[in-house]
Amino acid sequence: MPFRCLIASHLTPHVSRITPHASRVWPSLLIFIVPVALFYVPFLLNPNLESTGTYLENRIGGGSSPPFNNLAHFFYYEALKYNSAYYVVFFNGLLLWVAGWQGRKIAGERFYFYLIALLLIVSGAALWWLGQTQIAAWVLAGGTALFFGRVIFSPQTSLAQRVLWLWLAPPFWVYVFLVSRPGKHHYLFLGALALWVGWAVVQGWQRAVAAWPKLSQPAGRWLGVGLAGVALTVFAGHTVMLFLRSDLEYVLTYPDHKSIFYPTDAAYPYGTRIGFGYPFRLGWQLVGQLRRTGRLEGSWAGNDDGNAPIWYMLGAHSTPCYPHYVLQGEITYKGDDDYKVPFDPANFGYAPRYRIWGNNRLRLTVLEFQPFGAVEPIDLTEPVSFEPPVTSADFAPVMTAQPAPPPGGGLQPALGFGRGVGIKNNAPSEYLERAGQLSGRVALLGYDAAEGYAQPGGIVPVTLHWQAQSRLSLRYKVFVHLIAADGQNWGQADDFPVCGTSHANTWEAGQITLDRHLLKLPPDLPSGSYTLRVGMYEPELNLRLNYFDVAGNEQGNSLNVGTLNVKG
């Protein structure tokens, strides 16, 4: 964009006698507006815009009204995240020098503009310090807008400098004052700030040469190279410590490896997984090694919603509801500490199988479904490197869509659940009002029951294979009962489908959903053959759905799907 502005400014004939300054600016503004419009207008006209409205509203407004004040977010938090305090002082100091130099340059031309802008910025900073954040944001926004406008339109500003100000001013002002959560969008103007810092360094050296002519001689030039080398070493040393020293994991292990040379702020969120590029060794590479070597076979779920689990599990089936393994990381993304599997693993027969350590800290625990007694967990420490390396063949299952497996105990034909005559005629008006249309149905294709766990005191996984026939209008719970020959109910599991992560009223017609439940068997359960009885019910009024035969006739409000043989 700055390059386009530069070309436009060069192509514009500066011959206008009426508006000489505007003739230099409007082509740049036009070439800026057109590409922006080409990007945003189709976005605004997209029919799916409404679905992203809430996200954009939170991102831009965050529930409040602008202006906001993100100066601290950028110049302190974001800057310190990736750079040393020395670099931050150096960078911001030169930016202040640039602002002061530009103000002095236009001092002879309507100086009061610059003076008012300076007073507003200083007043805004004072109000911010006193805790008047909203008023401070208004004052700072006005002061910076006045400053940017003055330096851009000033005839004392050269073409190249005007291009830099045009690059810097719009995104800076928008993301600092108009957007509640700018995130990483400050990169849009960081390049312009860096160029101004570079310009300030050059100007400073040229002034030093003018004051001390000997600096123009070879020895003086080598002195400049040496000073630049020292600065680069100091700045880069902090970067190496944070990003290249994976043996330190400086952010996560702070203050264990606290540097005595680089000042740090204890208020910075150390010990959390934030930012991009930090060498976090959280155990996932070792999880991938276990997976590649066949020691981690089976379905899984985890408490980390990032890409790491999917990447390192190499296509293993992921399900949030009672998988074979639960991967519990000790450190998750900042703000995602409440992201958990939708059940309590300790209450359903899960126990540690592997404990993965890094930098003398527990980083990840692999829980395995072990209802008959836990084995001794294996402690593993992440090595420096891993063999064998990951290849494209490892990700073939991820790249290929896997169909839902057929049920081991299929129902031929599949039987549908829906609202029968009893519900339609006798249900309370409250239910009928909430339900709306009553034609939705879902079919039970079959089930799988892990009989190997069927013994007194055991926990039996039962997976139901549902297929939506037409959309249900309410959320329904699923029950699985263990019924003896005399009709006694010896065990039951009641929950929303897929542990509450996939409600039946969200299923599209034709969609197949695997819904797993864990059936806890009492310790005094007699051995023998038991019936598995399945159904769905509306939890608020406890109204069960009916099931229908192939002819569409109602056959009751629960279905005996098969038997479970319990061994003593």
pLDDT digit string, tens, across residues 445-463: 999 999 999 999 999 999 9
- Over range 197-208, report the average pLDDT: 92
Distance CA 280, CA 378 (A): 22
The residue with tokens 């540690």 is 352
Do 394 and 424 sit in the same domain of this protein? no
- Over range 486-495, report the average pLDDT: 95
Give the per-residue pLDDT at 59: 65
Worst-scoring range by mean pLDDT, 297-301, 337-341, 469-473, 539-543? 337-341
Residues in contact with 71: Cβ distance below 8 Å, sequence separation at least 6, in sequence order = 140, 176
3-state helix vs strand vs coil in the chain, percent to 5: 45, 20, 35
User: What's the farthest any 2 CA atoms get from each other in the chain?
Assistant: 107
Do 357 and 477 sit in the same domain of this protein? no
Do 442 and 373 sit in the same domain of this protein? no
User: Is the confidence at residue 67, as pLDDT, over 80?
Assistant: yes
Give the per-residue pLDDT at 12: 47
Structure tokens at 79: 């800057």
Do 440 and 325 sit in the same domain of this protein? no
Give the per-residue pLDDT at 14: 45
- Over range 115-144, report the average pLDDT: 81
Q: Is residue 17 part of a domain?
A: no
User: Is the confidence at residue 218, as pLDDT, over 70?
Assistant: yes
Q: What DSSP designation does 295 have?
A: S
Give the pLDDT band (50/70/90) at residue 56: low
Give the per-residue pLDDT at 19: 46
Q: Is residue 243 part of a domain?
A: no
- Over range 142-159, report the average pLDDT: 85
Do 62 and 206 sit in the same domain of this protein? yes
Residues in contact with 344: Cβ distance below 8 Å, sequence separation at least 6, in sequence order = none
Q: Is residue 20 part of a domain?
A: no
User: Is the confidence at residue 337, as pLDDT, over 90?
Assistant: no
The residue out of 211, 229, 249 marking a domain boundary is 211
Give the per-residue pLDDT at 352: 96
Worst-scoring range by mean pLDDT, 109-118, 208-217, 438-447? 109-118
User: Is the confidence at residue 379, as pLDDT, over 80?
Assistant: yes
Give the per-residue pLDDT at 458: 94
User: Is the confidence at residue 282, as pLDDT, over 80?
Assistant: yes
Beta 378-381 vs 441-449: how paired, if at all? unpaired
Q: Is residue 78 part of a domain?
A: yes
User: Is the confidence at residue 516, as pLDDT, over 80?
Assistant: yes
Q: Is residue 23 part of a domain?
A: no
For residues 108 and 364, which has the higher predicted lDDT (pLDDT)?
A: 364
Structure tokens at 232: 């680069």
Give the pLDDT band (50/70/90) at residue 16: very low
3-state secondary structure 131-195: CCHHHHHHHHHHHHHHHHHHHHHCCCCCHHHHHHHHHHHHHHHHHHHHCCCCCCCCHHHHHHHHH
Distance CA 284, CA 329 (A): 9
Do 378 and 453 sit in the same domain of this protein? no
Give the pLDDT band (50/70/90) at residue 30: confident
User: Is the confidence at residue 20, as pLDDT, over 60?
Assistant: no
Structure tokens at 116: 């008012």
User: Is the confidence at residue 314, as pLDDT, over 60?
Assistant: yes
Give the per-residue pLDDT at 392: 66
Give the per-residue pLDDT at 441: 83
CATH of the domain at 449: 2.60.40.770
- Give me the amino acid identity at 567: K
User: Is the confidence at residue 277, as pLDDT, over 60?
Assistant: yes
Worst-scoring range by mean pLDDT, 120-134, 230-244, 550-564? 120-134
366 touches 354 (CB < 8 A): yes
What are the distances in angstroms from CA 464 to CA 318, 510, 535, 536, 556?
17, 15, 11, 12, 19
What are the distances in angstroms from CA 490 to CA 173, 215, 453, 530?
67, 93, 15, 9
Region of 400 (left: φ > 0; alpha: ψ -120 to 50; beta: rest) is beta
Distance CA 53, CA 58 (A): 9
Give the per-residue pLDDT at 152: 86
Give the per-residue pLDDT at 73: 74
Q: What is the pLDDT of residues 419-448, one digit of tens each?
A: 666 666 666 666 666 555 556 789 999 999
Highest mean pLDDT among 44-58, 170-184, 525-539: 525-539
369 touches 345 (CB < 8 A): no
User: Is the confidence at residue 58, as pLDDT, over 70?
Assistant: no
The residue out of 364, 399, 434 marking a domain boundary is 399
Of all residues in the chain, the percent with pLDDT exceeding 90 is 33
The residue out of 178, 193, 211 marking a domain boundary is 211
Q: Is residue 206 part of a domain?
A: yes
Do 423 and 554 sit in the same domain of this protein? yes
Q: What DSSP designation does 408 have?
A: S
For residues 334 and 264, which has the higher predicted lDDT (pLDDT)?
A: 264
Domain extent at residue 200: 46-211
Distance CA 282, CA 73 (A): 27
Do 64 and 148 sit in the same domain of this protein? yes
User: Is the confidence at residue 205, as pLDDT, over 90?
Assistant: yes
Radius of gyration of the chain (CA): 33
User: Is the confidence at residue 13, as pLDDT, over 60?
Assistant: no
Do 64 and 205 sit in the same domain of this protein? yes
Worst-scoring range by mean pLDDT, 60-74, 122-136, 150-164? 60-74
Give the per-residue pLDDT at 325: 96
Q: Count of domains in the chain?
A: 3
Residues in contact with 281: Cβ distance below 8 Å, sequence separation at least 6, in sequence order = 246, 249, 358, 359, 363, 382
Q: Is residue 158 part of a domain?
A: yes
Q: What DSSP designation does 77 have?
A: I
Give the pLDDT band (50/70/90) at residue 108: low
Q: Is residue 2 part of a domain?
A: no
From the list 110, 117, 105, the residue with the least C-alpha distance to 145 is: 117
Degrees (nearest 5) of the Cα angle 215, 220, 223?
Answer: 130
Do 308 and 449 sit in the same domain of this protein? no
Structure tokens at 381: 């420490």
Worst-scoring range by mean pLDDT, 393-397, 438-442, 513-517? 393-397
Give the pLDDT band (50/70/90) at residue 129: confident
User: Is the confidence at residue 23, as pLDDT, over 70?
Assistant: no
- Entry field: residues in the chain: 568
Q: Which long-range contacts (CB under 8 A, 24 or more apart) does 247-252 make?
A: 247/359, 248/359, 249/278, 249/279, 249/280, 249/281, 249/358, 249/359, 251/275, 251/278, 252/278, 252/280, 252/331, 252/359, 252/361
For residue 124, the Cα-to-chain-centroid distance in whole angstroms is 33
User: Is the confidence at residue 111, as pLDDT, over 70?
Assistant: no
- Over range 77-88, report the average pLDDT: 77
Do 75 and 189 sit in the same domain of this protein? yes
For residues 416 and 98, which has the higher predicted lDDT (pLDDT)?
A: 98
Mean pLDDT across the chain = 81
Do 86 and 152 sit in the same domain of this protein? yes
- Over range 290-309, report the average pLDDT: 85
For residues 364 and 34, which has the higher predicted lDDT (pLDDT)?
A: 364
For residue 354, the Cα-to-chain-centroid distance in whole angstroms is 27
What are the distances in angstroms from CA 352 to CA 87, 244, 367?
45, 32, 4
Q: What is the pLDDT of residues 555-567, one digit of tens each?
A: 888 899 999 999 9
